[in-house]
Amino acid sequence: MRPNHPKSWSIVYAGFVVIVMLVTVWSVGLDRPCYHDECHFVETVELFVRDMGLSTFQTYNEMSTPLPFILYALWGRIFGFHLHVLRLFSLLVAVITYALLYRLLNEVIGSKSIVFASAAFMILNPYMIGLSIFVYTDMLTLLFVIMSCFALLHRKPVLLFVSLAGALLCRQFTLFLIVAMFIFFMLVLSRKRDRSVLAMIAACAGAIVPYAALIVLWRGLIPDNAVRTVYLDAGLSYNPSHLILYMAMFCVYLLPFVIVNWRLYRELRVLVASFVLAWGYWLFPVSASPYTVMIDRHTTGFFHRALKNMLINDLLVHTVYFLLFMAALPIIWCIVRDLYWRIHRNNIDLCLFLDLSIICYLIIMPFAYMAWEKYFLLILPFGILRFLLMAFPAGSRASQTAQGGCA
């Protein structure tokens, strides 16, 4: 088989995933004691193993929606409730997610080598390594997020409903994805009235129904439990510092793709405006959320912790975030401008959806009670696709992306 044959790259990728999984299992160990949040997640899974009654759904002691705990509990009932057995389910979900990620990139991007490099880059993200083995809710959420992209590309309303509802039942803040999908298909409908489009819109609306039923059961956005009193004591509020953090993460967790798209920084007026606006950082500097400080975590994640360890001085840490925020502003400006022109020119394609998803993410995520770098993973596949379509518009394979690029 020729080295550049499409199947060769698939085989190489499969081998790469197997090696990553084996190294992860060898270095972490299936039998190692529970890790951080994994401890209380396992306790919740055990609760669902014992009882899946209405009272359990109403009062389980977590902030997130219950689907991951249900799926882990069902796995535990079948194969046994032991930590190493539950972690095998995490590995299975990770492998499926990685396979779908590769297929998604492959359907949109023409170059096999770029697809492989992009998928490998995401897999080797330090958060992805941990989420592929520990009993966490994030990998399942990411799986549903990627599934929703297939539903959009192939216009599959049932798959769209399952993936959107599944994502929302894993993490509440995936509401951004439902909003983006709904707006996208409403724009499609404005251009072409079609039953299949109406079915996709209905799937978006219907995906909210299961979570709405839980809201009625809980009489709130999260279960009626002890942590609800602690974390949502002041209700929902908008946190500009969260917005700044997630914008800065575009230049951290997507750095190679930003470098490839260096042309984003060629407009002098955009650079000057970014420099001026960036000083707003000092009004809302990046910092650990009060709720993470309560559990003795004083950073927003791996990158923040690494900066603190290397630079010691808080002013230097904030200076780095200030520069990252300034570097992110031209990126967001490009996405906003591209979104505007695509709607104005009635150019309804995959790039438009990616723009919508990123903007909706940045609008909705600052309402979360806690800022955490790990949450950026949910937009990471969309960011990778969007940057690739900016850099290689002519190489896109899907018809929806034929006119990709940043206008």
Q: How far apart are CA 134 and CA 77, in angstroms?
A: 18
Listed as ranges, residues in the chain with pLDDT below 70 are: 1-6, 230-235, 394-407
Neighbours of 198 (CB within 10 A): 13
Rounded to whole angstroms, the Cα distance separating 151 from 155 reads: 5
| CA–CA separation, 115 and 357 (whole Å) | 21
Give me the residue label for tokens 């010691």: 312
Amino acid at 170: C
Q: Are 250 and 331 in contact (CB under 8 A)?
A: yes
Q: Count CB atoms within 10 A of the CB of residue 184.
A: 24
Q: What contacts 93, CB < 8 A, 6 or more positions away?
A: 139, 140, 143
- The pLDDT assigned to 401 comes to 37
The pTM of the full predicted model, rounded to 2 decimals, is 0.93
What's the burial of 374, exposed, middle or buried (CB within 10 Å: 0-12/13-18/19+)? Answer: middle
Residue 21 is predicted with a pLDDT of 96
Going 32 to 37 to 43 to 48, the CA torsion angle's sign is: negative
Residues contacting residue 91 through CB under 8 Å, at least 6 positions apart: 21, 24, 25, 132, 133
- Whether the CB-CB separation of 375 and 141 falls below 8 Å is answered with no
Measured distance CA(2)–CA(15) in Å, rounded: 17
Task: Show the CA angle centred on residue 252, arms to residues 21 and 273, nearest 5°.
Answer: 160
At 54-96, the pLDDT tens digits run 999 999 999 899 999 999 999 999 999 899 999 999 999 999 9
The three state secondary structure string of 26-61 is HHHCCCCCCCCCHHHHHHHHHHHHHCCCHHHHHHCC
Q: What is the token pair recorded at 7?
A: 């199947």
pLDDT of residue 129: 92
pLDDT at site 397: 53
Cα dist from 90 to 21, 72, 128, 158, 257, whole Å: 11, 9, 11, 25, 28
Q: Find, among 199, 94, 109, the residue nearest to 388 by Cα.
A: 109
